[in-house]
Each structure stands twice: as C-alpha cells, then as structure tokens.
Structure 1
Amino acid sequence: MDVKTAIKEIKQGKISPLYLCYGTEKYQIQQFIALLQEQVVDPDQRDFALAHFDLTETPVEVVIEEAETPPFLAERKLIIAKDSALFTAGRDGSKIEHKVETLLDYSKNPAEYSVIVFVVNSEKLDERKKVVKAIKSAGIALSFLPVSGAELVQWVVREVESRGSRIGTDAAEALIASAGVQMSALAVEVDKLCLYAGPGGKIEPATVEQLVARSTEQNVFVMVENIANLKLDKALDIFYELLKQREEPIKIAALIARQFRIMLQVKDLARQSYSQQQIASQLSLHPYAVKIAGEQARKFDAAMLRSILSELAELDYKMKSGRIDKVLGLEMFLLKLGA
C-alpha cells in the first residue's frame, strides 16, 4: 500500500493496528503521524491515550506491554516507537536487547484498542527478517522517500494553497533552489512567505529572493547554475557575497567541485539509460537535485566536465600548498570558466 491510499483509508476510519513507517523524508512521516493522532486520539485525552518510546533506550516488549494495557478514560490509544533497527539490515548500535518474539506474538492478535506506529529512519527494510514479514502481514508498511523533482514543486504549490496564498512553479522552484529539498525546511519557509503574502496574495520569485536566506551549499548551487547559463556577473556576485560572510575559499571550491562531479555522474548514468529515480538512488541524492544537475550537465559535454574537475583538483592543491592566493585563484577560475 502507498502513503496516499493509507491516508485515504485513515480519513475513512479504516485504521490498522500496526504501521511501519520507514524512509528519509521525516517531515512526511511527522505529517502522517499527526493525521493518525487526529483520527485516533481525542485532543482532551492525549495525556492518557498517547505514548512515545525510543527503541534505542526502551526494549520492544515494553511497547507491547503498553499496547496490551487497556486505555484509561479513552477508547483507543496511539503508541509511537521510533529509531528501531529491528527492521533493518544494519547492526543495532544501542545496548538494549529486544525480545522480538513478543512483537511476533502480538502481531498475530493485536489489541483492538491500540495503534502502534514504528518509525525507522532508513531507506530500506530487511525483507528477510520475520518481524518485517509479520508487520506487513498484520499491519501496513509505508515508504516515505524523497519525491521526484516535479512532485516536489507541486508539493510546494499545494502547501502554499493550503495556507490561503498562491505561488507559481517559477517561484516554487526558486524556493527549492534557496531553501533546499528537505520538506521540513521548505515548510518553515512556506509559512514565512504565506504570512508575508497574506490571504489570497501571490508569492513571486522576487519575494523568495528577498525573504529566503540561502545556505553556503545552496549559494554554490545557484552560482554553478549561473555559470551554466553564462551569467558570470551573477555568479561572481554570489562569490563575493560568500567572501563577505567569511566563507573559506577552499570550502567554496570543494562545493563547486562536488556540483560538477554530480553533473558528470548524472550525465554518465543518464547515458546508460538510468531513470531519474535510479540515478538519485545510485548517487544518494534527492531526485530534484538530480533533475537540476541533469539540466546543468546538458550545457557541458563530458570531456569539458572532466577538464573542469581536473582544474579544480589542481586549484585545490595550489590553494592548500600556498602556491596561489586562495581568493585570487578561485576568482580566476570562475572568470576562465565563465569565459
């Protein structure tokens, strides 16, 4: 079952006794749990019907004991157990020993008055484990992975509209370029922009540029985008602004090299007919970052990208060995690249 179907069923009152939420998109998981909490727990009963556990500190049998205990002054209760390595292939870094048999036995006959949500911060589950098979059989496992580039833009548009304001795809893309691809960070910026625009107001790209501060990484990302579009003046403006913020030139050079390396990798994998999602998984990147890197890479051939990376490696050596002034060396590199 996918997340959209699970949300639809929850809103219809069809709630599973067991949920296993895994993936790297924490904001989506938080939103899903918030919806469950809204449907399962009465706001006046949260002190009695809502329990949180950290499985790096608490054995799973304590969670099951809580689930089997009837709720006090409430019809049902919601139990959230996070950071569990019980369902993944990696070693559990905690010193807690879990009696997995307790969970296996519970999954065969879960309590009607309890809903347990296990949260796993991992892209994959270990499908070989009995406990994973048991949860999938008795409950619902949901994957919360980063959405594709186009879907992320549409998500921003929907979030803005849900707050009573409006935004075009150009401004949404500008927001992602400034704030990054993490939904939690984007949601904070959306709140700020909607507050500025007001009910019915439209958020323009200029508004995003005015109100949303970019991190060093995002500044370098936009700098490379400007270089790819032959907008050297804008790229240099960002470079000088980073220097004003006392960013280390060696760090800036390393981030530029990283972006060009990603462009080359995306170009090579796309040539091998990898999809955007497959490339994202292969390079451990967000699909939107792959989309933008792919667009940037089309403006360079592979030989040019390799030559740029070679020059950056040489520049890094000269900067670190004191053979060239760091600011001057990076400035000359940008001017040559823009030319």
Structure 2
Amino acid sequence: MTLLSLFKNTDNNNPHTLLWGPDAFLNDYLTRSYSREQQFAGYERVIVDCEADGLDDLLADLTESSLFSQQKLITIKNPFFLTAKVPKKFQRQLTQLENVLSHINELDNVVVISASYEKIDRRKKLTKTVLKNFNVVETQIKPYEVGAITKVLINAEGFAISQSALQLLVERSDQVMDTVLSNYSKLKMAAEDKKITKDLVEKNVDLSLAQNIFAILEAALRNNYHEAITRLTNQLHQGSNPVQLLAVFENQIELILVVKILAKRGRSEAQISKELAIHPYRVKLALRSRLQVAKLTQLLETAIKLDFNYKNGQCQSDDFLKMFILNV
C-alpha cells in the first residue's frame, strides 16, 4: 500500500506526482516513502532544490539523459516557480520549464514535486500545466485527523501500535503531524518485533511544552500547588520564556472555556472536536476540569492583563507566573 493513498489523489495511476501541503517534514517523509516503492527499483535518484540549485540545474536534469542509461526519479524540492513570487529574471527558464512539463508524459523519467506551501498560484500557466499533468496529492491534515492517519501510516509500514500508545503519541506531539512523524521515527528504532506500546512511548517521547503547561494547570486545579510550582520552576530553569509560558496558559484556559460553553449549548464531544479542529482527547480533558465558566473567564482576563503588564515592563521578574498559578 502506498502512503500517498492516505490522501486525496487526482490520478493515482499517474506516477508524476505533486505533493502539496504546508508541512515540509510530512511531504519529505511521503516523498522518501514513494521513491522507495518497488516500481522505482533500479531508477537513478536525483534531487533538485530549486532555491539552492536554481532552475537551470532543474532543466538540465529534466532534459538530459542519465549517465548510467537508467530512468531517473527526479524529486523537485522548493518549487518556487509554482508560487506568486517569482522574479522576472527567471522568465526564460519558466517558459522552458512550462514546455518540458507540458510534455511530461513523453519523458522516460518520473518527476515528483514536493511543494510545501500554504498556497500556489493557480492563475499561472506553468501551475495549470503541473495540475493538469501530475497526480496532485493534497497533504493537508486537520488536527482531529492526525491520529487516524498516523495509525494507518504506521500499519502500512509494517508496525503495530496499541490504541493507548497511539493516543499518547499524538498527545505528546501536540497533534502536529511533523512532530508525530519525528517521534515515530525514534519509536521505530526502539520498537521490538515492530510493536509500539504505551510504555515505549512514555520512555522515548517527552512531554511537549503545551502538555507540561497543562500538567501545571491540572496540578493547580487539584490544589496541589507544590507540584504546580515545582513544574513551573523546572520549565523556567529549562529556559522557557515567561511570555511564551503565559501564552500557553492563555491558550489552555481559553480552550477549556470554549469547550465548556459549547457543551452547555448541547454539543457532543465529537461535534466540539470537529468544530474546534482538535483531538477528541483534548475535549475530554477540558470537560473534566472542575472550573466553572465564570472562574475560567476571570483567569483568562487575569492572564491577558499579566501578559500586557509584562510586555510593558510592569512585571520585572517571573514571580508573576507563580502568583497566577497560586490563584487558580
């Protein structure tokens, strides 16, 4: 099974592929996986970074025969020619590139384009040519889809992961796909018999900053202020910026507040997860909070005021964070 099949494909019978989505780590991961497929065994591998190597090198690789008389699998990274910001000095190369790619099916080689951009310029003739002649794979993932896609991806690579381990992996990766893949790469090295367990995740994947902050809030909500202050002090000693920590506190409190408001309006956990584009487990955790809407609103207002005061120099040390936690 190809990992590209996990995403929307416009023509999966076409080997010429455009991977388009903002996550560069994910696109690189998928590109490497695709290039290792059996259909490309024996191909010469060529990687061209348009920003580093330029369009002349790209044109040469697309039009010149392999030194080894092999078919080539040409991976194009940073294809700025698909974006709106292309200097006029490249007009000649763009015209040549448009001509080559419009006849891509006449080439013996296979071309894979990894476009890690939020947007591409669909108005340009060159972009239209690529969209027409390539299998377009949109690699954009919503946060609530991360867990399901991660599980399929892991299984497709011959590994097994328990549901509890998957949930913990996604949580400790903050639902960010490139972080999930980075942590998964560590787990693959440590997994015995290709089995990923919750214990393996706990030992090899650290808590994220957001999770550490959530643990501080959770401890304070349980009135365990000693644990909360100890965790906060550790974060500060590790070099975390007070403003950064306060921003995460604000985000966590705001999330709990919004989830509780939506729940009061009759939304189910699944509906809230989809509406806020967050993992269902985060909704479940937010609903467990004992704080009422009025108290959450007060805490959020206090956090915003502290943020303003710190940035304006009225708070000279990080003690204001400790006072904030003691008032939760």
Structure 1 ranges of 4+ moved more than 4 A: 5-10, 93-98, 158-166, 194-197, 234-237, 261-271, 273-280, 291-305, 317-320, 322-325
8 Å contact 1:269–1:279 — kept in the other structure?
A: no
For 1:39-118, list aligned pairs within 5 A. Answer: 39=37, 41-42=40-41, 49-60=44-55, 62-89=57-84, 91-92=85-86, 99-110=93-104, 111-118=106-113
Q: 2-side partners of 1:194 and 1:36: how far apart?
A: 19
- After TM superposition, give the deviation of residue 235 of structure 1 in Å: 4.4
* CA distance, structure 2, for counterparts of residue 97 and residue 217 of structure 1: 46
* Runs of at least 5 residues in structure 2 that lack an aligned partner in the other structure: none
State how 1:145-294 maps to structure 2 within 5 Å.
145-149=140-144, 151-158=145-152, 161=155, 166-199=160-193, 203-204=197-198, 206-224=199-217, 226=218, 230-233=221-224, 235-261=228-254, 280=277, 287-288=278-279, 294=283
Q: Under a length normalisation based on structure 2, what TM-score does the superposition of the two structures give? A: 0.74
Q: Which amino acid aligns with 1:4?
A: S
Out of 8, 12, 28, the residue aligned to residue 30 of structure 1 is 28
* Alignment correspondent of 1:311: 302
Secondary structure of the residue that 1:126 maps to in structure 2?
coil
Q: Which moved more, 1:214-223 or 1:138-147?
A: 214-223
Task: Give secondary structure in 1 for the equivalent of 2:17.
Answer: strand
Once the 2 structures are TM-superposed, how far is the Cα of residue 260 of structure 1 from its aligned partner? 3.3
Q: 1:240 to 1:231 in 2, by over 3 A?
A: farther
Quick one: structure 1 residues 264 and 129, their matched pair in 2 at CA, closer, same or farther if it must change by over 3 Å?
farther
**AA matched with 2:5:** K
Q: 2:154, 2:179 → 1: CA distance? A: 14
Distance 1:166 1:121, change over 3 A: closer
Instruction: Identify if the C-alpha distance between structure 1 residues 6 and 256 changes in structure 2 by more than 3 Å, giving closer, same or farther.
Output: closer
Specify whether residues 266 and 154 from structure 1 end up closer, same or farther in structure 2 by C-alpha distance, changes over 3 A only: same
- 2:230 and 2:152 mapped to 1: Cα distance? 33
- Superposed CA RMSD in Å reads 4.1
Q: 1:57 to 1:25 in 2, by over 3 A?
A: closer
- TM-score normalised per structure 1: 0.72
Percent sequence identity is: 20
1:168 is aligned with what amino acid?
A: S
Residue-by-residue CA offset, 1:261-311 (whole Å, 9 max, x unaligned): 45667788998x99866755xxxxxx54xx566555555666554432210
Unaligned runs of 5+ in 1: 281-286
User: 3-state DSSP class of the match of 2:112?
Assistant: strand
Q: Distance in 1 between matches of 2:156 and 2:96?
A: 42
Instruction: Give a deviation string over 1:182-225, Cα, whole Å, max 9, x none.
Output: 44433343344455452265512x5433332234344224444x
Matches of 1:186 and 1:174, distance apart in 2: 10
**Cα separation, partners in 2 of 1:123 and 1:254, compared to 1, 3 Å:** same
SS of the residue corresponding to residue 127 of structure 2 reads helix
Offset of residue 335 of structure 1: 2.9
Q: Which amino acid aligns with 1:203?
A: T
Q: Could you tell me how far apart the structure 1 residues matched to 2:118 and 2:210 are?
A: 24
How many Å separate the matches in 2 of 1:313 and 1:5? Answer: 41
The worse-fitting range, judged by mean Cα deviation, of 302-311 and 262-271 is 262-271
Q: Against the structure 1 CA distance between its residues 54 and 255, is the aligned structure 2 distance closer, same or farther, given a 3 Å change threshold?
A: same
Q: Is the 8 A contact 1:20 1:120 kept in 2?
A: yes
- Residue 143 of structure 1 and its aligned partner are, at CA, apart by 1.0
Task: Report the alpha carbon displacement of residue 134 of structure 1 after superposing the two structures with TM.
Answer: 1.3
Once residues 267 and 222 of structure 1 are traced to their aligned partners in structure 2, the CA distance between those partners, rounded to angstroms, is 19
